[in-house]
Structure 1
């Protein structure tokens, strides 16, 4: 017996020595990076409604300080997982011994642990169930208990533990299971979450009746434990046990579904472009994904919904197939649309096309050939150079320029070269009817020709030919956009609806440009504001106020009596421009309508396949005045109906010194003045008349035939009926890549 006690004592001493050695040898490692990351949240304008989130390593986590975790949740977790939490040293000796026995006898690997041990396992170690890991867990738990308060440990535990449904931490779990923040959960919901902690994968009630039954048993255990520990009274506990709380259906992995993925991509791209005051990147990719940022955007729920509904209402039913459904890109009709705040450049909403999960191409940010929408910048450049709205241009078709033949729309068998409007049409008429030949002549009459059009377009908001990090726009840099392009005014360059809406917003804003943007505020995980855009600041002047007002007036005439009359259906005053463009095969590849009210600017573009495939012969109508304009009305009507009515400023009627002669306003020849008639001489007093003598009645005769007249001798008046593409028809088309005379209507 004496020998037994000696052996036992030696064994205890060796064990104690082993614990001391282990305690000194094992240090607290660095925390697992994934468990220190927090989900970054993205909000609609105003910062209340969630738009989406960036999740690091598929771990949806939103950490809360101890004081913001509901007491009910803290009590339920302790009652469910570690009743001695507030008194123990951080380890469960029985659990360690049980794990040791099971691991050495082939029994089931288990590890009933304290909350501290679970926290250590999640934050510092792996999930393997081995003796070595269990020893490390115990030693680190002892050390953590000495270094941190119980409150910090419990908060860390509730912020890192996995609750199922992709949710790490109580805040994410509360949203995942109940659709509300943790601060609003009740006793039943807190107890249910604490119960689910025991086995998140099997106790999720969405798994079926068996899981619900098992969850109910664990749920009752948690409630009973809370009653025994005096956390709730018996009556309250009995009432809570009557039923489980009502759970929210688990969401499918739709974090990027629909338009949400396109929006989150735009936000991410802009965040990575932002710089702090020292010119350093504001945030990194890792901080976006796991930095716990709170990002408020300029997008509104109403605008996003309205734009999407408008597109779905207007585009033809038989052209809604996505590329992925039929496999042939030419079977896909793409619609890109975007709405921008005129006064600030804030992107309020957009439609990027197909579901983001189907394709990551955002047609609101990618766009298509601009067509005749570029004529607005030619007009502004001409007014800036000294021309006026009344100056005249050649509207006949075709017209020969150096090495290029340009024609108007309205081609037909009898009029193969497009409709001619006369040798002298005013700038206003050229815009109303979208006359290609007049605008090419206008561009060619500028001091620096197409370079002036290019400069004006870039100043207004189109991204330049070469990327400019200071003014990048949103989405792709404008492609095929060259200051040397003689036919730039006809728009074979590609640009996006987002950037085109922003450029037209500059005109509506009387020439003041604000960079289009989608991020308005960024708050870090500690609650500090690290970025906030001040929309009260004025932008930079892109064109003189009078130039903008006159350009705007010309675009108002397009709506009131030109090719864009469909846009007049909105309540607010409207201005805008239709546009089509032709591809290398002389087929129409895009149809546009870009317009604005005094408050909002919206651009809509219809394209097919990869953006260059033919619309004519495939779509029943490819006029910008049809589907694009109708979509524009469906967007702008609901968005502006409730806004205060605003008028556009009147035109300035600029009349500067034209840089080139020969374009003076057309003055019709004056009618010759009639020769003055002589005043009649006063007559003498009339002599009294004699009584008339009665005459004999003549004998009636047969009527004679009227004289014969040769019809060729009768002069004919000129016809007043409009010809193809005339006043009643579509205006000029966008620029084709071959001869620039695009046959599609403008």
Structure 2
């Protein structure tokens, strides 16, 4: 055994010696590998050509010494006295590559420079062995200063910037020679994940991570005695926040948003297939000569842009009303049968608003989350507190501000309905139609919030870091139009998981990347998914979307399911809806143009009565209707369910039965009834189920709470027939 071990060691050493002799340092080719990427519509016509390389090398002497140290502190504290390789990190990377697990382990600055300048980002054993040998030779041939200069001049920093000079201009509008330590630390931190850490587009997680990385860099500088502790203590991250970016030629209008999402999805696939880190994947995609065909349908893309313009942006006048300048729109349209993103609206213009509203996750989806709660109830065969099965006809207490109970115990949550409307005993169908918060808050506890959030995750919501608490029943988490479109597409696709994909094919000169099938496994039963769809037809034909969608003159018999959502203080408003062959999620977001903070949209476009609330049933639903009814034909849902507004009753039920348990407060109205959608799209007024069950809980005295997302329906005092709470302009 000892002889075998020693023999293997000698064989390994001999193999390395031979490899060292055979592998020479190649000519640098970083700039030569950079070529324009071509992006195409689904029909093959060119959408954009992006790739004007933004690179300018600078002498290391022009970069302040403390800024040089930020990169060493971030990536390789032993750089000035190591041999050019990290043996343990390299061994870990080789093992991960051979075993097919994860990303390469840590690398020295020399190794990263070799990858950037001499090799490529491919994650293969051969490439890693070459990297090791070339790194050793480069470390012997070049000084540490030359290597560091090469590293910071060839690294990719995001915003299409290669090298520290281009990065200094892209992020701070200054030369590398004028960078402060705080700014240098930010650029050094950025190299770990350029797009995710870019402050202008980073989500909450990205912003937290880049701040942590920034602190890590400066603290390491103190440990290495490159930075005075007192000076470090006085440094604040706000002094490192960069300027807003400028768009790259070819990315004007909506093109930049489409290109951005395509790049992100391709990068994610490279990370999954080849074990690349995020920064490696970005460097391997941007300006690398890819031909990327998108799933975007040119006709539908144009129709979506026109719908946003005619129904919203043409009505905004920031000079007349300050609030109008704070309204941002985002939308994603998906084919539920294929999972293809066929149209996307990311904002007014990529050059004017870099943040993609279609993929941002920092606003509450509000009541568009309610169908997920119902799906969880149906999937888990949940029951009310009194043991009654939860379905479309189950009676709940719709009293506003009603305390949510868990088997007699108060959970400390008593959400109001919109405008504090009391509904009294109400069916689940009608509660969905009218978006009754008190009902779904109680339903979430009945089902179990852990099960609700598990179902949300199965349907496609990113629930990482979310707490399974009753407040989530009102959609108080963050979500994007892309995310919500995927969840509703899964409902539309009878419970088969839909992960929206914008990339159709991605090809490079010597390879192509196989993109995963957007249609996945059955994540909830067909009956549960189809029942949710059936119930959501009631929201359109009889509820909060009736005026803008059901009664829309453009409707040509299309059967529609959907849900409105309006968050607390009117900071976001949504309509996510679908026909049998198209799912589209539209969101409006109140965003301060200077601080990017969330602000109210109340009174935008001069809505009356002042200040008019921008509900999900107003502009989001109108955008959705103009777009959808313009690109779809008459179709009916193929539903496997006996419940919900879309199901025709076999007989005429009555409402003569009185609930056996009377509420303690007199209901404000008789129990509302569900209706069914007729084939022509005009609702009939026949209730679909007889409410024969008692309310799930006896109401207590109303105890309204504030600060939670709300959505419901009230009559406009200036227009009683208008149920979207808009009023007249």
Which 5+ residue runs of structure 1 have no aligned equivalent? 1-27, 60-251, 412-417, 467-481, 656-664, 672-717, 728-735
Residues 320, 332 of structure 1: 8 Å contact kept: no
Deviation per CA, 1:275-305: give whole Å up to 9, x if none: 3886434984343234322111111222222
- Give the secondary-structure state (helix, strand or coil) at the position aligned to 1:567: helix
Q: Which residue of 1 aligns with 2:477?
A: 493
Residues 500 and 611 of structure 1: is their aligned pair in 2 closer, same or farther, counting only changes over 3 Å? Answer: farther
Alignment-derived partner of residue 392 in structure 2: 389
Aligned to 1:612: 598
**Distance (Å, rounded) in 2 between the aligned partners of 1:606 and 1:278:** 35
TM-score (norm 1): 0.52
Which deviations, in whole Å up to 9, do the C-alpha atoms of 1:141-161 show, x marking residues without a partner?
A: xxxxxxxxxxxxxxxxxxxxx
Does residue 407 (structure 1) correspond to residue 437 (structure 2)? The answer is no
Q: d(CA) in 2 for partners of 1:465 and 1:651?
A: 32
Q: Sort the Cα spacing of 1:44 and 1:507 in 2 relative to 1 into closer, same or farther, 3 A.
A: same
Choose from 628, 653, 666 the match for 2:642: 653
Taking the TM superposition and a 5 Å limit, the aligned residue runs for 1:67-78 are: none
CA RMSD of aligned residues (A): 3.6
Q: Give the match's secondary structure for 1:489.
A: helix
Equivalent position of 2:111 in the other structure: none
Q: Tell me how far apart the structure 1 counterparts of residues 321 and 621 of structure 2 sit (CA, whole Å).
A: 29
Name 1:421's counterpart in structure 2. 423
Is 1:443–2:438 an aligned residue pair? no
What is the CA–CA distance in structure 1 between the aligned matches of 2:585 and 2:453, rounded to whole Å?
Answer: 19
Distance 1:276 1:357 in 2: 28
- For 1:330 and 1:356, how far apart are their aligned partners in 2? 19
Superposition pairs of residues 342-353 of structure 1, within 5 angstroms: 342-353=336-347
| Alpha-carbon distance in structure 2 between the residues aligned to 1:513 and 1:360 | 30
What is the 5 A alignment of 1:121-136?
none
Match of 2:524 in 1: 543
Residue in structure 2 matched with residue 267 of structure 1 by the alignment: 262
Are residues 1:299 and 2:288 paired? no
Unaligned regions of 5+ residues in structure 2, if any? 1-24, 57-246, 382-389, 405-409, 645-652, 660-667, 673-682, 684-703, 714-723, 725-729
Tell me how far apart the structure 2 counterparts of residues 364 and 607 of structure 1 sit (CA, whole Å).
11
Correspondence for 2:489: 505
Render the CA deviation track for 1:100-152: whole Å, top value 9, x for unaligned: xxxxxxxxxxxxxxxxxxxxxxxxxxxxxxxxxxxxxxxxxxxxxxxxxxxxx
Aligned: 1:287 with 2:309: no
Question: Could you tell me how far 1:363 is from its partner in structure 2?
Answer: 1.0
**Are the counterparts in 2 of residues 45 and 296 from structure 1 also a CA contact under 8 Å?**
yes
How far off its partner does 1:33 sit?
4.1
Shift in alpha-carbon separation, 1:551–1:455, aligned structure 2, 3 A: same
Alignment match of 1:531 (pick from 497, 514, 520): 514
SS of 2:292's equivalent? strand
Equivalent residue for 2:49, pick from 48, 52, 59: 52
* Superposed displacement of residue 602, structure 1: 0.5
> Residues 536-575 of structure 1 correspond to what in structure 2 (within 5 A)?
538-565=519-546, 566-568=548-550, 569=552, 570-571=555-556, 572-575=558-561
Corresponding residue for residue 43 of structure 1: 40
CA contact (8 A) 2:399 2:421 kept: yes
Tell me the SS of whatever aligns to 1:342.
coil
Tell me which residue corresponds to 2:567: 581
Please name the residue that 1:598 is paired with. Answer: 580
Show the counterpart of 2:461: 462
Task: Report the CA distance between 1:557 and its aligned residue.
Answer: 1.1
Provide Cα deviations, 1:677-735, integer angstroms capped at 9, x if missing partner.
xxxxxxxxxxxxxxxxxxxxxxxxxxxxxxxxxxxxxxxxx99999xxxx9xxxxxxxx
CA drift at 1:651: 5.0
Counterpart-to-counterpart distance in 1, 2:709 and 2:341: 33
Report the counterpart of residue 629 of structure 2 in structure 1: 637
> Alpha carbons of 1:547 and 1:329: their partners in 2 closer, same or farther (altered >3 Å)?
same
1:318 offset after TM fit, Å? 5.1
Q: Deviations over 1:595-647 (max 9, x none)?
A: 00111110111122246211224451412111111010111122214xxx432
Question: d(CA) in 2 for partners of 1:307 and 1:589?
Answer: 23
User: Following TM superposition, by how much is the alpha carbon of 1:376 offset from its aligned partner in structure 2, in angstroms?
Assistant: 0.6
Secondary structure of the residue that 1:339 maps to in structure 2? strand
Deviation at 1:556, TM superposition (A): 0.8
Residue pair 1:407, 1:741 contacting (<8 A) in 2 also: no
Seen in structure 2, the aligned counterparts of structure 1 residues 434 and 298 have a Cα distance that, compared at 3 Å, is same
Q: How far, CA to CA, are the matches of 2:373 and 2:32 in structure 1?
A: 56
Where 2:392 maps in the other structure, the secondary structure is: coil
What residue in structure 2 maps to residue 34 of structure 1?
A: 31
CA distance in 1, matches of 2:480, 2:281: 27
How far 1:739 sits from its partner (Å)? 4.9
Cα separation, 2, equivalents of 1:567 and 1:318: 19
Match of 1:627 among 619, 625, 629: 619
1:336 Cα deviation (Å)?
Answer: 0.9
Decide whether the 8 Å contact of 2:544 with 2:712 is kept in 1: no
SS at the partner of 1:494? coil
Map of 1:433 onto structure 2: 434
In structure 1, the partner of 2:328 is: 334
CA offset at residue 254 of structure 1?
Answer: 3.5
CA distance in 2, matches of 1:648, 1:493: 30
- Separation in structure 2 between the aligned mates of residue 326 and residue 625 of structure 1, nearest angstrom: 24
Alignment match, 2:125? none
- 1:716-727 map, 5 Å: none
Change in 2 beyond 3 A, CA 1:295/1:670: closer
Gap change, CA 1:495 and 1:330, over 3 Å in 2: same
Listed as ranges, the matches of 1:129-278 within 5 Å are 254-275=249-270
**TM-score with structure 2 length normalisation?**
0.53
Aligned length: 423
Deviations 1:515-539 (A, max 9, x none): 122112111113x43324456xx41
1:741–1:331 CA distance, 2 compared to 1 (3 A): closer
Q: Indicate conservation of the 8 Å contact 2:567/2:708, yes or no.
A: no
What SS is found at the alignment partner of 2:358?
Answer: helix
